[in-house]
Amino acid sequence: MIIVTGGAGFIGSNLVMGLNAQGYDDILIVDNLTNGQKYTNLLDCKFSDFIDKNDFLVQVQQQKLNSKHITAIFHQGACSSTTEWDGRYMMENNYTYSKILFHYCQQHKIPFIYASSAAVYGSKQDFIEQRAFEAPLNVYGYSKFQFDQYVRSLQAKFTAQVVGLRYFNVYGPRESHKGSMASVAMHLNQQLQDTDTIKLFAGNAGFSNGEQRRDFIYVTDAVALNLWFLQHADISGIFNAGTGKSQPFNDVAKAVIQYHQRGQIEYIPFPTHLVGHYQSFTEANLAKLRQVGCQHQFKNVATGVQLYLDWLNK
């Protein structure tokens, strides 16, 4: 059995689909369906059971799971809102929860592959998986950073595989439930359909209008990295999960306009509340990922956006 926490969420449900494609369907999905819209992400997934997050934690802490039947745990469950400033809530969901699962997996020698985030880098310009390059700008990034630090402190004592994947800007199918936290591609597509106009931030922090750059990674590529590590259980560590090539927001907008063959771009003032808390540039350094042998080739924005919009408009 494979366990996927956050399995009804964006990356989690896509991961379940990726596992299904490789022949895995004995999957336990763990999630919190307070946001009932997420159920649609599971309609075409094959899995053996579903359990609420809180009930799952009780079973883990009381040792009620049959650990001998667990092949791996993919820990995708988290509060992923970069605008959430309730630090107590964030640390409970993203740090304490992760620690409990980490220790359970170590106790029973179960591979543990978890979601970290490029938010740990903050405004740094070099995105290398080392402490010197990490300085999160918000409490979400801090919660991910702190768990990475915890994992590092115990790395010499690992009894089983532990992999942290630092997701950059993931976009693609099954994210509509995320609302304001959904990807740029989804929001720009909706804006164009509603008004024929795409709105991007005007220049800031030395970047021209719409030229703030992010490492946009299509969700199936993020899934492919998870599955690669599942097949390489001898490799542990924290790795960047991005394409290695940043692209400006203008490229996303142009890809949406090209797809629909209509629309224009309008640049709006950069929000004052985001000054000092916004990553204007991200680009994954893939040296560490390549060094361990993962040679996955990533889709660029033009290709990924076309695939995504085909899916959205299907």
Torsion angle, CA of 165/166/172/174, rounded to 10 degrees? 60
- Cα end-to-end span (Å), the chain: 32
- Rounded (5°) CA angle 288-227-289: 5
Measured between alpha carbons, how far is 277 from 205 in angstroms, rounded to an integer?
12
Q: Which residues pair with 29 in a beta bridge?
A: 4, 50
215 to 108, 148, 243: CA distances (angstroms): 36, 21, 6
Q: What are phi and psi of 201, to 5 degrees?
A: -70, 140
Residue type, 190: Q
Measured between alpha carbons, how far is 2 from 49 in angstroms, rounded to an integer?
11
Find all residues with CB under 8 Å of 65, minimum gap 6, and list them: 59
Neighbours of 46 (CB within 10 A): 14
Answer for the pair 215, 250: CB distance below 8 angstroms, yes or no: no
Task: Give the residue numbers annotated as catalytic, written as ranges.
Answer: 140, 178
Considering Cα of 250, then 253, then 254, then 255, what sign does the dihedral take? positive
| Tokens linked to 180 | 């304001």
Residue type, 26: D
